[in-house]
Structure 1
Amino acid sequence: MAESAVSTVLGGMGNLAVEETRFLCGVTLQVSFLKDELMRLQAYLKDADTKWRSGNARVAVLVSQIRDAAYEAQNVIETADYIEKRNRLKKGFMGAISRYACLPSDLVTLHKVGAEIQRVKEKLDRIFASAENLKIDLDNTGVVEDAFPQDFGVTYQYSQDDVVMVGFEDEHKELVDKLIDNDESMLSAVSIVAMGGAGKTTLARKIYTSSRVKEHFDTIAWVTVSQTFKGIELLKDIMKQITGKKNESVNHTLEHEVGKEIHDFLLENKYLVVLDDVWETDTWEQLNRKVKAFPDAANGSRVLLTTRKEDVANHVQMPTHVHPLKKLDEEKSWKLFSSKALPPYRRSGIRDVDEFEKLGRKLAKKCDGLPLALAVLGGYLSKNLNRQAWSSILLDWPSTKNGQMMRNILARSYKDLPNHYLRSCFLYLAAFPEDYEIDVADLINLWIAESFIPDTPNHKLEETALKYVTELVQRSLVQIVDETRELGRIERIRIHDILRDWCIEEARKDGFLDVIDKTTGQAGASSLDKLVSYRSCFQNLSDDISPGTPNVRTLVCFKLSSVSLPKLRFLRVLCIKDSRLEGFSRVIVGCIHLRYLGLLNCEGVMLPSSIGQLLYLQTIDLTLTRLNSVVPNSLWDIPSLRHAFLGGNLFSPPPPARSLRRQQQNKLQTFHLYRTPVGTNWYHDMVIFVGQMKQLTGLCIYLGPMPAGMVNIFANMPHLVYIFLGQFDVLDKLPDNFPQSLQRLSLYANIIEQDPMPILEKLPCLVLLVLEGYQGQTMTCSAKGFPRLQRLQLGKFSTEEWRIEEGALPKLSHLQLLMLSKMVKLPEGLLDLPSLSKLELEYMAQISEDDSTIKELQRKGCEVAFWF
C-alpha cells in the first residue's frame, strides 16, 4: 500500500494553494522538489512490492519508509498550504495585509516548514541509497498506472436477487411453506444450519423479502446477531422496526421496558423475527431474560434463525425445524459459477464460449459446492476471459486442506483488482464491524476523503466511486443489501465475514489498517509488527483509545462508551458511530487536515465555534446525533465543504448578507436537515440560505412546518438529482421551476390545492415520485406525461377521480396508493400502463379484491398486495 500512499500525496498536490503563492518562494521551490522526488519513488514501488511479498524483510522496511516519507511530505506541505488558505479568508485590515505579506507568526511557521521539508529530503536520500543496495530496479520501472479493463463501467446489468438464489430455489420454497404453515398455530422456529460461505444469510434474506411472507405476517423484523451482540441493542433494533419509532425515543429506554413494549405489540400481531448469524446457544434466553419479549399468541408467529452450529439451532426453547443447508451439487455449482463468470450480457461477445464452459465446469467442481467460493472465483474469471488464464488456474489449483482454498481464491481476486486505488477501497471495508450494512453514499464520501478515488477526465469523483462499488459487486467481493433498481443504484452493501477476516489480516500485514475489537479479543498489529498503521479502527471499547502512532490519519470507531479522544493533529478522517465522547471540542479544533467528520448516533458532542478553521473539511455528518450546542455558523466559512448532514440539531441560518457572501464561495453538493425551527426570522433566513446553494445535487429538509417559500427556490439549482421536502402546511400549487435533472422527488404537505400532475409530469428525468396531501377531487396524467417514471407513491389524497390518458406513465412498474380515502374505484387507465407489475394498496378498505380493475391487472400478471 506504499504505492497508494505516494499516489495519494501526488494526486492532492495539484490542488494546494501553496503552489500559487507569491511570497512563499523558498517553500514553493522545495515543494516542487519534493513532488519530483515522490514521482521518482512511485516508479520503484512495483518492483519493491513484488520483492516484499516474496518475503524480503529488508524490502518490507524500505516500503514502510517510503510510505512514511510520503505522508510526512504531505503533512508539511499542507501546513504551508493551510496558512495560505487561512489568509485568503481573513477579513478587514489584517486580511488585506496577510494576502500580500507574511505576518510574523506565519514567518515562524514557514521557517519550521522549511526545516521539516529539509528533514524529509534527507530521509528520501537515505531511501534511494537503501533501494540501490537492495538492487531494486529503480530506473527501468516506469510509472504505468493500472487501468480498468475495457468493460469497467458497464452498467450493473443483472439482478442480484436472480443470481444469489441460484441453487436454492427448492429450499426457498420448502422453507417458506414451513413458515406460513397454517396448521401449526403455536410459536415455532425454523433454523438454517451450514458452514460459513454456504449461503445461509442469502437464503434467509430472500425468504424474508418474498411477497408470500410479507403478505402472511402482520409484522416482520430482521436483526444480525454476530459474535459480539448485546441483547438490549438487538431488542431496540427490533422495536424500531416493528413500531416505527425513531432512535431518539428508544436510545434511553431500559431493557425491561423495551421487552415489554415488544411483547405487547407482538401479542396483537402475527409476526416473523429473523435472527441472522447466531453463535451462542443462550442467545434466545438473553433476548428474553428481563421480559418474555416474544409471546406465543397461538396465531402462527415464527422465528427464522441462521447459524453455523447445530447445537445453537436445536437450543431455541420452542418447537424447531432444523434445516441443514446442503452444499450445491455439481450442476447447481456450475449454474451459480456460470452466472458470475459468464453472465448473459457478456456471452454474446465471447468467442469459443464452449471452450470456456468446459474449463468452467471443471473449475466449479473444484469449489466443493461452496457458494461463496463459486461466486468469488466466478467474479474473478469474468474479468479474465482468457482461456490460458482459466487453464492455468485449473492446473495450479491449490489444496483444499485447512481452509486454504477460499483464502487462495480471495488472494488471487484481490491481486487482480485493476489498480491500487480499488485495492485500497476494498481493504477499507475491514474497518466496518462484522455483518455491518454499509451505506454506499457514506462509503463513497469516506473513500474520497481518503483520496482513494482518482481524478478521471469527464467524471466526477462520486461517479468513479460508484463504478468502484459496482466492480466489487460484479466480482462478488461485496454483497448487495439494498438497491434502487429504478435508478440502477446500489444503496447498501455488506462484506461476508470470511472476506472481512481476510481483509483485516491483509490490511494489518500491509500496515494499511489496524482493527482493534476488545469484545472478540482482536488486538492491534502495531504491537506485533514493525509496520505501523496510519489508520485505526476501534470497536466495543470502554476506555480511552490509543492509536499505534500519533501521526494516525484515520480513526474509525464503533460503540465506544465514554471515551476521550487523544490529540491527533494529522487526522484526515474521523468517523465515530454509536458512542459517547468526552472533551470532543478540545480535540477537534487542532485537526486542521480533517476531510471527513462523521458523528452518527453519538452523545456528549459539542461543536466548537472555531470549526470554521477546518479549511479542508469536505463532509460533516451528524445523523442521529444530538449536539450539546447549536451548529456553529462558522461551518459555512469552509470553502471545501461538499456534504452537510445536520440531522435534527439546532441550526440558525446565517443572516442574509453573510449567507449571500459565503454561498458565493460555497460548493455544497448535499444538504440534509431535520428540525423544528425557532426564532421569528428563521423561516425567511432559511429560504434565502438554502436558495443560494446553487451547486446542490441533493436536498433533504424536514421541518415543522416547512415555509411555503421553500418550494420556489429551485430555479437556480440545475444540478439537483433528488429532493425531499416536508412537512408543508398548505401549498396552493407547485411551481414550474423544478430542475430538469431531477430523478427523485418526495414532497409532503397537509394540503396541496391544485393538481400537481401537470407540473411534475413534464420532468424528463423523474424516476421516483412520492407525493402526499393533494386535496383536489380530480387528478389527471396526460398523454406522454411522466416519460421515465418507474415508481409512484401517492398518500393522503382526497381525490375521487384519477384520469390516466393513453400514453401516460409508459414505464411505471410500481404503484403504491396510501390512504386515498375517497377513491372507491381504481382508474381503468391503469390497465393501459404497459410496464405496471406491482400495485400496493395500503389502508384503502373501500377498494376490495373484487374490483374489476384489480382482477384484470392480476390476469395480466401484475402483483397486487393489500396492507391494512
Structure 2
Amino acid sequence: MAEAIIVNIVVDKLANIIAKEIQFLGGVGEKVKKAQRELTRIQSCLKDADSKRKLDERVQNWLNELRDVAYCIEDAIDMFFIKVECNKNHTCLQKLKNKPREVYFLHKLGTKLNSIQNELEEISKSRLNYGITALQDIAVGDPVILPVRRTTYSEVDETEVVGLHADRDKILKLLHREETPRRAVITIVGTGGIGKTTLAHIIYKRDKSNTIFLFVCISSAKAKFEYHIMLSVSQQFNLTELLKKMLRQLIDDVPNELDVEGLMSELKKKLSSRRYLIILDDVWQVDVWNHLKNALPDDKNGSRVLITSRSIDVAKSADPIMAPCELNLLDDQKSIDLLLKKALPNQEPSEELASDLLTLANELSKKCEGLPLALVVLGGILSTKDRNYHAWERVFRTMDWHSKGKECMDVLAMSYEDMPYYLKACFLYLALFPEDYQISARRLIRMWVAEGFIPQEERITMEEIAEDYLYELFQRSMIQVSSRHVNGSIKCFQVHDVLRDLAMHKAREENFFMVFSKESDSRKPNKEIRRASFHSLKDSDDSHLRNNLLYLQYTRSLLLFGEYGWSQIPNFRKFRILKVLVLEGVKNHDVDLVRGLEKLVHLKYLGLRGCTIPISKCSFHRMKVLETLDMRGMINDVELPNGLWSIDTLRHVMCYKPFELPETTAKLKNIQTMQWVYFNKKMPLLSNLCKLGIYIPSWGDPILNLTTNLLATLPSLVSLSIDSWYLTMEVVYPKTLPNYQLLQSLYLEGKWPKDVTLDASLFPPHLLKLTLVGSRFEQNPMRELEKLKSLKKLCLEHEVLSDELYNSGEIFCPAGFPVLQNLKLGVLSVKSLTVAEGTMPNLKYINLFKRSIKCHLPPELQHVSITFEHNF
C-alpha cells in the first residue's frame, strides 16, 4: 500500500508548513489546515481499504483517487514555494504579503486548494459506500519502529540450501575432469527462481577457496584455477561494459580509451597460458557467448566457463558437446524441508512440529509447485507470523489459489501484499535500480530518508529506522544480501529479477515510478511520472528523456545510470520539485546544465558517482533542505560547490578528495558523515558525527594538541579514518581513542610514532575492524593486536612493516584473536604467514597480497578461504 506512504508524506509536509510558515500564507493557511485535517481522517481508513482492494475493484479506484489528490496537494505546495523562491533575492518570507506577484501566487494556490478540497470531501464520503472503516487503534499514520534484529555476519550456509547438492557435485566434477582438457562450457539451465544463481555462487566460492577437495578426489595441483571471474550479464547486454568488468577482476586499472577489440585483446593476453574459471550468470542471449568466445583462449589446460541461463538455446549454442545441467523443481519432501528452514530459522532439526501445523505446511509448500524462490519467499512470510495453526491457516486462506498455473506468482504477489504499509514503498523503490545491480545499503537508506519514507523519532536516527526496514525485507527474503559490514549490518544486496519484475508490475499499477531502458515500452504515459529511472541509454536513445519531459515536471526522484554522454539532457530547471537526483557515470561538461541544479530548492539527495560534471560552478545557496551530497568517484572536478556549508539540514557529505570546512559550522548540527576533511588549525568541532575521515597534510604548522581536542569531542563516532604522512603521538595517545565506546571501525594510514610503543590498550575497547597502512612497525605487530578481543577484521596494508628493521618477511600469530573472521595482508614484503594452533578459531577468510606467500595454517583452519590480490 504505497498510497499510505504518499498520504503520510503529504500530511507531514502540511504539518511542517502549519508549524513553521503558516503565518506567511495569509488566508490560504486555513485551506492548508483543512486539507491536512481531511487527509489525517482518511489516514486511519487506509489499512482497512488495503485489505479490501483485492475483493472490490472500486476500492482500488478509491485508493487511486486518494493517491492522485495527495500528489496534487504536494505539487501545489511545492510549486508555490518554488515560485516564491524565484521571485525574491533573500529568504525572508515575511515580505511576501506586500509583493504583487507573490500575492498572485497565493491566490492561485488558494484556488487550487479549493478545488482539491472538494475532491477530498467527495473521496471521504465515498469510502462509506465501499464499507471502508476507520481503524483508529492501528492508524496508518502512526510510525512503526521495528525492534533491532540485526545478526552477526555470516555467509550463506550450504546446509540451508535444499535440493542442489547433487547438481553441485556433478558440476564440480565437470570443472576438474582431466579427460576434458579443452576449454569446456558448462551450462546451468532452469526457470527463474529455481536456484541457478545460488548454485553458481556456491561453486564459485567453493572452488576459489580451494575447499573443493573435500568433495572431489583429485590432485590439488590440477584442481586450482589461477584466475576466477564471476559476473552477472542480465538482459541489458553491453559487450563493452561486460569486457571491462571482466578485466577489472584481473587488473587494477582498465584504460578507458580501449574499444571492444582492444578490450578483447587485453583480456585474451591476460588469460593466455593461464587456467581460468569464468562464471557468467543470467545470460539471456546467444550472442553473449558468440562475442566473448574469441576473447577467451583455449590452451587445452582445463579452463572452464560456467553459464547460467533460462534458455536451453544459450546452452546448446555455447557448447554443443557438453550436456547442460537442467535444474528440476523440488519434490514434495524437499519443498517442505526448504519451506520450514525459512519459516522456522531458529528451530533445531530435532524439534518436532505439531501435526496440524505440519499438515498445513505441506499444503502450503505444494502450492509453490517446487519453485525454490516461491518457497523461500513464502517461508519469509510465515517467519513473521506466530507459530500456530490459526496464523498459518490465515496465510493459506487469504492467498488466491484459484488461477491454475499461477500459484507461484501468487506466492510472490502475496509477499508484497503481506508487507506492512511502511515497507511497500521501500520495496518498490528497489526496482528503480538496474537489473542485477549491487545496491549499497547506506546509499539506499539515504535515498529512502530523502523521499520521506522514514519517520522521524526521538532517541533514534532515521538511518537506524531505515536499516531495520531493510533488515525486515531481508528477513522476508525479498532481497539477497551480497556482503555485510563487520558489525553484521547489510552492506550490499541484489533483488532477484523475478521479485524485481513483481516490483515493476506493482509500481506501474500504483503509478509509483517508471523505468526507461532499451527494453522498456516506448509509449508515452497517461499521467505524470512521479519517479523515473533511465538505464544505460546511449545518445541515440535519449529521446526517452526528451519525449517525456511533459510528464516529468512533477518527478520526485530522477535516476540516470550508465557510462555514456548525454548530449541533450534537459536543463534541471525543468525538474523543479526533485527530492532525489542520481547521476551515475554521466559525462557532461555543460556549465549551464549544472547551474540548473541551483533551482532545485526541494532537493534532498544528490548523487554524482563517476560523473564529469563541473559541480564547483554551481551555487547551493538555495538548497535549504539538502541532506546528502555524494561526490565519490567524480572525475576531474571535485571541488565543493559554493553555499554548501550554509545548509543546516546536511547529514552526509562524501568525497574522495579532501575538502576544507569553514571556520564556523554552527549550522551543521545534523551532520553524521564527513569524508574526507582537511585537518588544520581551523578545524571546527562537530560533536554529532558518526563517520569521519580526516586527511592531515604533511606540511604546515605542528598540530600537537589539535588532534586530541578534536577526537575528544566525538562521543558518537562509529567509524574513524585518519590519513597522514605520519601519525602524531596525540592520535594514538591512550587518553583519546580508548574512550570511544561506540567506535567499531578504525583506519590509520601513516608512520607509527617512534615514541609510542604499540599496545592493545591504545585502541577502542569494542573495535570490530582495524586497518593499518604504512605503519612501518619494527616488530611483529600481531603480538599486541591479538589481544583485541572484539576484533573481527584486521587489514595490514602497504609498508605496515619496516623493511630496514623487520626483514624476516614472516608474520607469526602465536595466540589470540578469539573472534577474528577476516585477515588481510596486503603487504609486499611478507613472505610467509604462520598461525599457531588454537589461534583465530573463528577465521573464515584470508586475503594475501600475492600468490607466492606461503601460508601455514593448523589443521582446524584448513577450511579457510584464501584469496590473492595478485597472481605473481
**TM-score under structure 2 normalisation?**
0.84
Counterpart of 1:194? 190
SS in 1 for 2:838: helix
Q: Summarize the Cα distance change of 1:28–1:735 in structure 2 as closer, same or farther, 3 Å threshold.
A: farther
* Alpha-carbon distance in 1 for matches of 2:61, 2:864: 62
Structure 1 residue 258: deviation in Å? 1.6
**Is the contact between residue 722 and residue 744 of structure 1 (CA under 8 Å) also seen in structure 2?**
yes
2:139 pairs with 1:145:
yes
**Is the contact between residue 529 and residue 552 of structure 2 (CA under 8 Å) also seen in structure 1?**
yes
Q: Summarize the Cα distance change of 1:750–1:332 in structure 2 as closer, same or farther, 3 Å threshold.
A: farther
Counterpart of 2:468? 467
SS in 2 for 1:487: coil
**Is the contact between residue 789 and residue 809 of structure 1 (CA under 8 Å) also seen in structure 2?**
yes
Counterpart of 1:677? none
2:213 pairs with 1:205:
no
| 563-572 vs 191-200, greater mean Cα deviation | 563-572
1:148-187 mapped onto 2 (5 Å cutoff):
153-156=148-151, 159=154, 161-162=156-157, 165-182=161-178, 184-187=180-183
**Is the contact between residue 618 and residue 642 of structure 2 (CA under 8 Å) also seen in structure 1?**
yes
2:717 pairs with 1:717:
no
Q: Summarize the Cα distance change of 1:587–1:2 in structure 2 as closer, same or farther, 3 Å threshold.
A: same
Counterpart of 1:516? 516
**Is the contact between residue 811 and residue 830 of structure 2 (CA under 8 Å) also seen in structure 1?**
no
Counterpart of 2:216? none
1:56-455 mapped onto 2 (5 Å cutoff):
56=57, 62-77=62-77, 98=92, 101-102=94-95, 108-109=101-102, 112-113=105-106, 115-133=108-126, 135-136=129-130, 140-142=134-136, 144-145=138-139, 153-156=148-151, 159=154, 161-162=156-157, 165-182=161-178, 184-210=180-206, 212=208, 216-245=224-253, 250-287=255-292, 292-316=294-318, 320=322, 322-344=324-346, 353-385=354-386, 386-394=388-396, 403-418=405-420, 420-455=421-456
Counterpart of 1:680? none
Structure 1 residue 504: deviation in Å? 0.8
Structure 1 residue 422: deviation in Å? 0.6
SS in 1 for 2:295: coil
Deviation per CA, 1:816-861: give whole Å up to 9, x if none. 3343736767475x63555445555544857464xxxx3xx22466
Name the amino acid aligned to 1:171. Answer: D
| 128-137 vs 249-258, greater mean Cα deviation | 128-137
Deviation per CA, 1:88-139: give whole Å up to 9, x if none. 9x9xxx88xx48x526786743652354144214312233135425625677
Deviation per CA, 1:380-399: give whole Å up to 9, x if none. 11222341343355567755
Q: Summarize the Cα distance change of 1:47–1:388 in structure 2 as closer, same or farther, 3 Å threshold.
A: closer
* Alpha-carbon distance in 2 for matches of 1:283, 1:324: 20
Q: Summarize the Cα distance change of 1:329–1:69 in structure 2 as closer, same or farther, 3 Å threshold.
A: closer
Q: What percent identity do the matched residue pairs reach?
A: 28
* Alpha-carbon distance in 1 for matches of 2:753, 2:264: 41
Deviation per CA, 1:507-549: give whole Å up to 9, x if none. 11111112222x114346723xxx6441222224322412524
**Is the contact between residue 724 and residue 747 of structure 1 (CA under 8 Å) also seen in structure 2?**
yes
1:574 to 577, 581, 602: 581
1:809 to 812, 817, 827: 817
Name the amino acid aligned to 2:611. Answer: C
Instruction: Please list every run of 5 or more consecutive structure 2 residues that lacks an aligned counterpart in the other structure.
Output: 212-223
Deviation per CA, 1:317-339: give whole Å up to 9, x if none. 68645211222233222221111
Name the amino acid aligned to 2:157. Answer: D
**Is the contact between residue 663 and residue 692 of structure 1 (CA under 8 Å) also seen in structure 2?**
no
Q: Summarize the Cα distance change of 1:293–1:50 in structure 2 as closer, same or farther, 3 Å threshold.
A: same
Structure 1 residue 312: deviation in Å? 0.5
Counterpart of 1:550? 553
Deviation per CA, 1:559-613: give whole Å up to 9, x if none. 3641413501111111232334565324322221111112222344545432231
* Alpha-carbon distance in 2 for matches of 1:351, 1:539: 49
* Alpha-carbon distance in 1 for matches of 2:311, 2:191: 8
Counterpart of 2:665? 662
* Alpha-carbon distance in 2 for matches of 1:87, 1:719: 41
SS in 2 for 1:624: coil
**Is the contact between residue 401 and residue 410 of structure 2 (CA under 8 Å) also seen in structure 1?**
no
SS in 1 for 2:337: helix
Q: Summarize the Cα distance change of 1:77–1:423 in structure 2 as closer, same or farther, 3 Å threshold.
A: same
Counterpart of 2:479? 478
| 171-180 vs 223-232, greater mean Cα deviation | 171-180
Q: Summarize the Cα distance change of 1:476–1:433 in structure 2 as closer, same or farther, 3 Å threshold.
A: same
Counterpart of 1:595? 604
SS in 2 for 1:660: coil
Name the amino acid aligned to 1:735. Answer: V
Structure 1 residue 69: deviation in Å? 3.3
Counterpart of 1:676? none
Deviation per CA, 1:485-511: give whole Å up to 9, x if none. x41111111111111111111111111
Instruction: Please list every run of 5 or more consecutive structure 1 residues that lacks an aligned counterpart in the other structure.
Output: 674-682
Q: Summarize the Cα distance change of 1:840–1:502 in structure 2 as closer, same or farther, 3 Å threshold.
A: closer
* Alpha-carbon distance in 1 for matches of 2:332, 2:153: 23
1:27-46 mapped onto 2 (5 Å cutoff):
28-46=29-47
Name the amino acid aligned to 1:264. Answer: K
Deviation per CA, 1:263-289: give whole Å up to 9, x if none. 22111532222111111112122235x
Deviation per CA, 1:59-102: give whole Å up to 9, x if none. 655534433433343445457778999999x9xxx88xx48x52
Structure 1 residue 757: deviation in Å? 4.2
**TM-score under structure 1 normalisation?**
0.85
SS in 1 for 2:339: helix
Counterpart of 1:789? 791
Q: Summarize the Cα distance change of 1:839–1:280 in structure 2 as closer, same or farther, 3 Å threshold.
A: closer
Structure 1 residue 194: deviation in Å? 0.8
**Is the contact between residue 757 and residue 780 of structure 1 (CA under 8 Å) also seen in structure 2?**
no
Deviation per CA, 1:419-463: give whole Å up to 9, x if none. x22111011112122222211111111111111112244321111
2:634 pairs with 1:625:
yes
Counterpart of 2:217? none
Structure 1 residue 666: deviation in Å? 4.6
* Alpha-carbon distance in 2 for matches of 1:641, 1:195: 46
Q: Summarize the Cα distance change of 1:841–1:604 in structure 2 as closer, same or farther, 3 Å threshold.
A: closer
Name the amino acid aligned to 2:715. Answer: P
Q: Summarize the Cα distance change of 1:843–1:241 in structure 2 as closer, same or farther, 3 Å threshold.
A: closer
* Alpha-carbon distance in 2 for matches of 1:136, 1:631: 54
| 663-672 vs 226-235, greater mean Cα deviation | 663-672
Structure 1 residue 359: deviation in Å? 2.0
SS in 2 for 1:73: helix
* Alpha-carbon distance in 1 for matches of 2:789, 2:86: 49
SS in 2 for 1:331: helix
Q: Summarize the Cα distance change of 1:866–1:259 in structure 2 as closer, same or farther, 3 Å threshold.
A: closer
Deviation per CA, 1:162-211: give whole Å up to 9, x if none. 26623222322332332234554332222111111101011111211225
Counterpart of 1:505? 505
**Is the contact between residue 185 and residue 319 of structure 2 (CA under 8 Å) also seen in structure 1?**
no
Structure 1 residue 689: deviation in Å? 6.5
SS in 2 for 1:274: strand
Q: Summarize the Cα distance change of 1:181–1:753 in structure 2 as closer, same or farther, 3 Å threshold.
A: farther
Q: Summarize the Cα distance change of 1:168–1:192 in structure 2 as closer, same or farther, 3 Å threshold.
A: same
Name the amino acid aligned to 1:231. Answer: L
May I ask how many residue pairs the two structures share in their alignment?
A: 823
Counterpart of 2:647? 638
1:611 to 612, 616, 620: 620
2:721 pairs with 1:728:
no
* Alpha-carbon distance in 2 for matches of 1:556, 1:574: 6
| 299-308 vs 718-727, greater mean Cα deviation | 718-727
Name the amino acid aligned to 2:166. Answer: D
Q: Summarize the Cα distance change of 1:111–1:397 in structure 2 as closer, same or farther, 3 Å threshold.
A: closer
